[in-house]
Amino acid sequence: MSVRSLCIKIRKIHGERTLVLITKLGIINRELKIQPNKNHISIPLVRSPNEIELGKLKAELLHFELETKVFAKKKTQGKTLHQVLEDQLPSNLLASLPRALDIIGDIAVIDIPLELKTHKQVIGEALLKTHKNVQTVLAKIGAVSGIYRLREIEQIAGIKKTTTTHKEHGCQYQVDVATAYFSPRLSHEHNRVASLVQKGETVVDLFAGVGPFSVLIAKKNADAKVYAIDINPEAVEFLKKNIRLNRVDNRVIPILGDARQAVEDKLLGVADRVIMNLPEKAIEFV
C-alpha cells in the first residue's frame, strides 16, 4: 500500500547526516519506506518541522527541500508476546513472561513460571497470535526425567496434539513430543557433530532418539553408515519413519534396545566414531 506524505529531499551524500538529525528531532516517519532517486533521497516525515526544527535543519544541512510525495508503506512487524498481553495481564506479571520458547514443527513448548500459571491459557492464545506457524501450545510440567528423557506436558492452547514434523538442516523429523525426546535447542550441535564425519566412516549413535544426529550424518555423507540405537520403542518407531522420510534407508540402521547390550551383541569394533548424547549417564557406557 502507498500513501502521500510530507518529506525532506536531500542529496544522497547527506542522507546519513539527515537521517540522524530528523531522528533526533522525532519527525521521521518510520512506517513509510525511504525513496531513493538518482542523486537524491526523500525521507518521509510525520509532520512539518516547527520553526526551531527548521532552523536546525537549515544550520546543519545546506540544501534540502520539503515536498509531498507518494511513499510505499513498510511491512508492519508482528506484535511481541509482551505487546499482545499488555492489556490482558497485570503489569507486574508481564516481566515474568518467559523469553525462551521451543518450537518443534508447528508445536510451541513453553515453560510457564509459577506466578503466571493461572494465566496459562491467555498466554497460550497470545502465542498463537504472535507465532503464525504454531498450531498447538504445550506447557512444560517439571523437568526431563526417566530413561527415555521425557517431561510431562499439557496442552494450553490450539489444536490438541503432540505429534508434528520438524525441519532441521534440510531433514524432516516426525516426533511425538510426549513420547520421544527431541530438542530444537540441539540443532547447532546436531549439525556440528554431523559435519565432523568423514567419507566412508561408520558411526554408532548410542542414544539416537528420533534420529537428528544419525539421519543428518547419512544425509550429509552419501557413503557413511550409522547404527542408531535407542531404548525407547516410541522413539525407535519415529526413527524408522524418519529414516524413510529422509531417504537414508540401508545407511542408518535402527536398533531398539539398551546401548550397552546392542554394542556387545553386534557392534564391537565397528565404529570410527561414537555419539553419546545422554548427559550425565553417558560416562557409564564408556
Ligand X SMILES: C[S@@+](CC[C@H](N)C(=O)[O-])C[C@H]1O[C@@H](n2cnc3c(N)ncnc32)[C@H](O)[C@@H]1O
What's the min distance (Å) between Cβ of 122 and ligand X? 31
Best CA proximity match to 41, nearest among 67, 62, 74: 67
As a dihedral over the C-alpha atoms of residue 203, residue 208, residue 210, residue 212, rounded to 10 degrees, the angle is -50
Which residues, listed in sequence order, are joined to residue 8 by a DSSP beta bridge? 43, 66
223/134 Cα distance (integer angstroms):
36
Among 81, 97, 231, 252, binds ligand X (CB under 6 A): 231
Q: Annotate each residue in 170-189 with x if it binds ligand X (CB under 6 A) or - if it does not, as one string.
A: -----------xx---x---
Which CB, 5 or 174, lies closer to ligand X? 174
DSSP H or E run through 165: strand 163-168
Among 174, 221, 232, 246, binds ligand X (CB under 6 A): 232
Q: Is 76 exposed, middle or buried (0-12, 13-18, 19+ CB in 10 A)?
A: exposed
**Residue 229 binds ligand X, judged by CB under 6 A:** yes
Applying CB under 6 A, which part among 35-43, 112-120, 217-225, 226-234 lies near ligand X?
A: 226-234
Distances (CA, A) of 2 to 9, 34, 193, 286: 18, 12, 49, 65
Among 147, 196, 222, 270, binds ligand X (CB under 6 A): 147
Among 105, 158, 212, 254, binds ligand X (CB under 6 A): 212
What's the min distance (Å) between Cβ of 243 and ligand X? 14
- Total of residues contacting ligand X (CB under 6 A): 20
Applying CB under 6 A, which part among 1-9, 59-67, 147-155, 191-199 lies near ligand X?
A: 147-155
